[in-house]
Amino acid sequence: MYKTYLYAHVIWAIRNKETQMSKPIRVVLYAHLQKMAEEKGIKIIQVGGAADHIHVLIQLHPAQNLAQVIRQLKSESADWLNATQLLPTGFEWEEEYAAYSVSPSAVKQVTDYLDRQEEYHKTKSLEAELEVFEKVQNG
């Protein structure tokens, strides 16, 4: 029996790259995102991020459309943050996102990377991080 392993490392930012998410809010948001995704048949392997953006490692089912999955995750999480009023102002994600395919053999490396996001972003901005990804993608 063949199995399908489709992994994507997806990154999206808060509207205008505002630093709205403190660590306690990220912890609660990540737990909510995992629970909501599971209820909707979306398999999140790992979540990480910083005050202005989020990283999600997803395993897609062959019938799932990446753009639809991301739209659902972003919409649900923004609606939830606004409904719970955990933040003092309204919350929105940027429309754009970056998505990178991940080989099954690299899943552990990506999960470790997402675990270290807070430390990583003490010295590097989201833009610097995305530039590194672009260099790797373009060889």
More confident residue, 139 or 87: 87
How many domains does the chain fold into? 1
Enumerate the H helices of the chain as residue ranges.
23-39, 66-84, 107-115, 117-120, 126-137
Q: What is the mean pLDDT of residues 69-89?
A: 93
Specify if 118 maps to a domain.
Answer: yes
pLDDT attached to residue 136: 63
The percent of residues above 70 in pLDDT, for the chain, comes to 94
Please give the residue range of the domain that contains residue 88. 6-137
Please indicate, yes or no, if residue 59 is contained in any of the structural domains. Answer: yes
In a domain, 1, yes or no: no
Question: Residue 138's pLDDT is what?
Answer: 62
pTM, whole model, 2 decimals? 0.88
pLDDT computed for residue 137 by the predictor: 63
Which is nearest to 51 in space by CA: 16, 84, 88, 23? 23
Alpha-helical segments (H) within 65-106 = 66-84
- Cβ burial 7-44 (10 Å sphere, 16+ → b, else e): bbbbbbbbeeeeebbeeebbeebbebbbebbeeeebeb
